Amino acid sequence: MSYEETNMKSDVENEFLSVEKGQEWNSFFNAIRDECSRIYDYTSLEAKKPKNKDLNRYRDVYPYDHSRIILSRGPTDYINANLVVVDKAKRKYILTQGPLPQTTSHFWLMIWDQNCRAIVMLNRIIEKHVIKCHQYWPTADHSGEESSIICNDVNLKVTNISEEKNSCYTTTKLRFHFKYDKQEAAPPRILFFALQTFKNAIVDSYRLEDMKTGEQREVIHYHCTTWPDFGVPQSPTAFLKFLYAVRASGALDNAGPTVVHCSAGIGRSGTFCLVDSCLVMIQDMKLTNIVVKDILIEMRKYRMGLIQTWGQLRFSYLAIIKGIDKAELENGCPDDADEVNEVESEDEAPPLPPPRNESLHHREGVVKNGKVVSV
């Protein structure tokens, strides 16, 4: 570590220990929430319009109007997503909910509109028997037939065309393209061409192509599969290796913002972005006097409720402190000692969450005996 990084680690550790020693994480977290409620009075009028009701996964998680992403075409310009800007870190993220069946095409249109080059997915499709996100990409069809999904409202077709496996990862090829009316401007075509599956993460690569201009873009999809809802990863090291894998691709440094989502797009997503931004400021920007709490409050200006529990906030500090010693973490898959056991993570009891209306159950249902049922 450099002298500056050593000092910053000491500052963040002191900030952490001042709360840890007094076991004051709950009150510390609540104080941040209360301060944001006091200083921010942003509206979410668009999200609450009757026509957009079924486009929101949760009834109490809405995008602010001033920072919401506006779609360029299609049946609606609304999507539950916000642009979050961290100026000091020179980072831009789009934080969004896990797509619903009826918003999958909106999600892919947003990727094209905003010139996004990376998607970070931090949830599993089903968690504790509840559907947390619609599967918005096609799975491999091992029968040899092509597997596709079609988004008719934006004329998008997504096709899985091949899959290759080795001992460390799986490589899958998909083809994405839009059907379009010849009398209208041609929308983009999206080609997916690679996927890597690690023990606790899946990495997909996509190529986007505009069928009219021939413009092509590459999008990488990182899927962390072992982070429980309202909870934290089992260790900072495993999380940081996932973060550094995302960074190593260069995806976070491109012109377009990185899309980050979990189920609601605030808890796990906020944790990921806070840790990444703080480490960029400390390691790359060499900034001093970084106060983690203040960075989180600034981020909450763009999307409500980022980081949902005191446990996630505490984990953010631990990951930042560990991440300053980045040399031992940046390369390779997580060591066996750092891997997260998926079954244990699913059953582990996270810190008690704040009240949240589980409207997701009404949007997609819960899974019982292998079947989706409404509640």
pLDDT, mean of residues 125-144: 81
Catalytic residue among 151, 224, 262, 273: 262
Residue 127, pLDDT > 70, answer yes
Active site residue 262: yes
Separation CA 289–CA 14 (nearest Å):
12
Separation CA 149–CA 318 (nearest Å):
40
| Cβ-proximal residues to 122 (8 Å cutoff; 6+ apart), any chain | 224, 227, 260, 261, 262, 268, 269, 272
* pLDDT tens per residue across span 291-336: 999 999 999 999 999 999 999 999 999 999 999 876 556 544 444 4
Separation CA 91–CA 85 (nearest Å):
6
Torsion of CA 194, 196, 197, 201, to 10 degrees: -110
Choose among 325, 310, 295, 348: nearest CA to 93.
Answer: 295
Q: What percent of the chain has pLDDT over 90?
A: 44
* pLDDT tens per residue across span 193-208: 555 655 667 776 655 5
Residue 80, pLDDT > 90, answer yes
Distance between alpha carbon 71 and the CA centroid of its chain, in Å?
19
Map out the domains of the chain with their CATH numbers.
3-373 (3.90.190.10)
pLDDT for the residue 336: 41
Position 248 confidence tier, pLDDT thresholds 50, 70, 90 = confident
* pLDDT tens per residue across span 275-287: 999 999 998 888 8
CA distances from 342 to 123, 139, 290, 325 (A): 12, 20, 34, 26
* pLDDT tens per residue across span 162-188: 433 333 223 334 455 655 554 555 555
* pLDDT tens per residue across span 2-60: 666 666 677 899 999 999 999 999 999 999 999 999 999 999 999 999 999 999 999 99
Write out the two tokens for 40.
Answer: 């921010």
Residue 359, pLDDT > 50, answer no
Position 356 confidence tier, pLDDT thresholds 50, 70, 90 = very low
Binding residues for substrate: 229, 262-268, 308
pLDDT for the residue 339: 40
Binding residues: 229, 262-268, 308
Instruction: Work out the mean pLDDT of the chain and round it to a whole number.
Output: 78
